[in-house]
């Protein structure tokens, strides 16, 4: 029986595996650098402060951030075309649904509460299917995707919310005028 020397083959296998690990690490590092640049852009361009002030304005007027169910666009203003609050959630976060059932869902996204940028996973109930990413690359890719979605949807969101704020302000002004007219009529008696 002939005995073969596999040392060259084993070296080739080791080199191929090492090259793959290096390529994966380079990809991860490139994505981390890209994410860091995107997060920096998001934090420095002023859009998050605008979002913070817009959310505060909505809360003061009791305007829901992401309305749902029986929404009349004629009287209550238009909804975004993001499938009824798919990204901009009513709790003031920007997120995507990672898993869901009939009465539960797990979301991943970011918030800007008290002017602090933070990545989070939220659960609508105690039932949890998604609690973490399978690997660092998929988490980085999800973060990059969310920042891109936020930047591409924010102007529409802002426009819709401002329209709803102005409609609500107009309604409050009309109600105030009615009350003042009522008071004036009472004082004439």
Output the six-digit token pair for 99.
Answer: 């898993």
Of 47-51, 100-104, 116-120, the poorest mean pLDDT is in 100-104
pLDDT in tens, 119-149: 988 777 666 677 788 889 999 999 999 999 9
* Nearest Cα residue to 110 out of 99, 96, 129, 98: 96
Q: Report the pLDDT value the prediction gives residue 75, as an integer from 0 to 100.
A: 64
Model confidence at 84, in pLDDT bands (50, 70, 90)? very low
Instruction: Give me the chain's average pLDDT, please.
Output: 84
């Amino acid at each position: 029986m002939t005995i073969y020397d596999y040392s060259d083959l084993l070296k080739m296998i080791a080199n191929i595996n090492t090259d793959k690990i290096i390529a994966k690490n380079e990809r991860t590092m490139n994505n981390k650098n890209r994410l860091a640049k995107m997060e920096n852009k998001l934090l420095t361009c002023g859009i998050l402060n605008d979002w913070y002030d817009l959310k505060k304005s909505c809360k003061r007027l009791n305007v829901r951030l992401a309305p749902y169910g029986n929404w009349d666009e004629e009287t209550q203003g238009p909804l975004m075309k993001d499938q009824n609050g798919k990204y901009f959630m009513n709790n003031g976060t920007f997120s995507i649904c990672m898993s869901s059932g009939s009465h539960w869902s797990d979301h991943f996204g970011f918030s800007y509460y008290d002017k602090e940028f933070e990545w989070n996973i939220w659960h609508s109930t105690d039932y949890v299917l998604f609690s973490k990413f399978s690997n660092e690359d998929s988490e980085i890719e999800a973060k990059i995707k969310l920042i891109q979605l936020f930047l591409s949807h924010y102007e529409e969101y802002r426009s819709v919310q401002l329209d709803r704020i102005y409609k609500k302000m107009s309604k409050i002004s009309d109600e105030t005028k009615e009350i003042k007219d009522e008071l004036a009529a009472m004082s004439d008696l």
